[in-house]
Amino acid sequence: MRSWARALAALIVAASIGEAHAQSAPALFPVTVDDKHGMIDRAGTVVIPLEYAEPLSMRDGLVRVARGSKVAYLDAAGRLVIGPQEMAREPFAEGVTPARGRDAAGKAAWGYIDRTGAFVIAPRFADAKPFSEGLAEVALPDQWGEVKYGYADKTGRLVVPARYAKTFPFSAGLARVEVDKRPRVIDRTGADVTPPGIDFIGVAAEGLYRVWNGRRQGFMDGTGRVVIEPRFDLAREFSDGLAVVWLGGKIGYVDRQGTMVIPPRWDVADDFADGRAALKVDDKYGYIDKTGSLVIPAILDRAMKFSQGLAAAKLGNYYGYLDRAGTWVISPRYVWVRPFHQGLAFVGERGSRGAYIDATGRTVWTSP
């Protein structure tokens, strides 16, 4: 065994966490006290002690923590899975993460390790980025020594040649790349499927990409086919099956076929979520349903998107949370709020440093 492999193996202090376990891992929530970061579980129990200088987040069932130049990975119970080391620094994605090691010639190179810390794709790349949809951006030098990017699969095979100066992760079956400093999209074989007449391509949302033709915007699907011709003054990405669009200075909503299901008549309106969209009527906010009917009256001073069946809204000087019928489930008493995520929301009362509450309004953790 090579010396770098033995060194990395020595860092492993727990058994591998399988993919199924990672997907079902309990939710963890970031907390901060006196500029030190940790994580709690949904019950408010501190799982990862508040002792790290960098904010923490959980991805792919593992939490990345750092101290100085070293990085370690913890499971949802706070146990070390890969101990402090300097080879891997990115969060895990799809069961692996980029790591720096030595290639067959003994030179420094990038490959990928699994949750045991073992290289599953041997180091051979000049650079490596996290996997997305089964493919990862990797770099190799060309014949002139200039580093170019392509895409590798989970075996490490280069399925899209390294010929791009700039790449982005695969999403909805396509990846954005730059060719001669112009945005293009390629499929998983590397074929350029950019529709003719398209000048710019946005990010994918719900399987559709926002695209530009001059100043007009429309949408294409994951095959590169334009499904909604660029005819809107402005647009936003799809959310909850509909997209915000502007025509004549007013906001309406289109479905995935491009049908204007809610005609443009609003000056200020948000994306749909949980079947509701916040909008402004005169100087107050309310919510419409997908027919365009105002189902929560415009009596609010601010209205945010629904998340997990609840929406943060402001009445007077304070925020609370409404259900889809417009009933206050958590009465307004907070000076700032965040959306619900995995069962908890982070909120702040006057003079407090913040607290996590559950969907009943019960406080599960308070910042001291």
CA-based nearest residue to 161, from 147, 148, 176: 148
Reply yes or no on whether the pLDDT at 248 is more than 80: yes
Using alpha carbons, select from 253, 337, 339, 246 the residue that is nearest to residue 288. 253
Supply the pLDDT for residue 26. 85
* pLDDT for position 117: 95
Q: How far apart are CA 58 and CA 135, in angstroms?
A: 21
Asked whether the beta carbons of 219 and 209 are under 8 A apart, the reply is yes
What are the structural domains of the chain? 1-125 (no CATH), 126-194 (no CATH), 294-366 (2.40.128.630)
Backbone angles phi, psi at 267, to 5 degrees: -90, -35
∠ CA 63-364-31, nearest 5°, is 35
Please indicate whether residue 8 or residue 182 has the higher confidence score (pLDDT). 182
Determine the pLDDT at residue 15. Answer: 32
**Integer angstrom CA distances of residue 78 from 17, 21, 58, 90, 94:** 13, 15, 11, 18, 20
pLDDT band at residue 169 using 50, 70 and 90 as cut-offs: very high
- pLDDT 10s digits, 88-121: 999 999 999 999 999 999 999 999 999 999 999 9
Residue 331, pLDDT score: 98
Q: Is 308 left (phi over 0), alpha (psi -120 to 50) or beta?
A: left
CA angle 165, 168, 174 (to 5 degrees): 115
CA 225 to each of CA 174, 184, 193, 222: distance values in angstroms, whole numbers, following the listed order: 11, 13, 8, 7
Confidence of residue 181 (pLDDT cuts 50, 70, 90): confident
Average pLDDT over residues 208-213: 97
- Both tokens assigned to 3: 């010396």
Nearest Cα residue to 328 out of 360, 292, 282 = 360
Averaged over 219-223, what is the pLDDT?
96
User: What is the distance between the alpha carbons of residues 124 and 121, in angstroms, rounded to a whole number?
Assistant: 9
Going by pLDDT thresholds of 50, 70 and 90, the confidence category of residue 312 is: very high
Q: What is the mean pLDDT of the chain?
A: 93
251: pLDDT strictly greater than 60 = yes
pLDDT in tens, 187-196: 999 999 999 9
Q: How far apart are CA 138 and CA 131, in angstroms?
A: 10
**Mean pLDDT, residues 321-338:** 98
Asked if 16 contacts 116 with a C-beta cutoff of 8 angstroms, the reply is yes
The tally of CA atoms less than 13 A away on the side-chain side of residue 260 is 13
8 A C-beta contact, residue 119 and residue 99: yes
Under 8 Å CB-to-CB from 191, ≥6 apart: which residues?
Answer: none
Residues paired with residue 175 on neighbouring β-strands, in sequence order: 170, 186
For residue 8, is pLDDT > 60?
A: no
Strands 119-125 vs 108-113: parallel, antiparallel or unpaired: antiparallel
- What confidence tens digit (pLDDT) does each residue in 15-56 have? 333 334 444 568 999 999 999 999 999 999 999 999 999 999
Please give the radius of gyration of the chain, using alpha carbons only, rounded to the nearest integer: 24
Please give the model's pTM, rounded to 2 decimal places. 0.87
pLDDT bracket for residue 296 (50, 70, 90): very high
List Cβ<8 Å contacts ≥24 apart for 322-328.
322/296, 324/274, 324/275, 324/276, 324/295, 325/295, 325/296, 326/287, 326/295, 326/296, 326/297
d(CA 49, CA 97): 24
pLDDT of residue 20: 40
What does the alpha-carbon distance between residue 143 and residue 341 come to, in Å, rounded to a whole number? 48
pLDDT value at residue 39: 98
CB of 76 closer than 8 Å to CB of 90: no
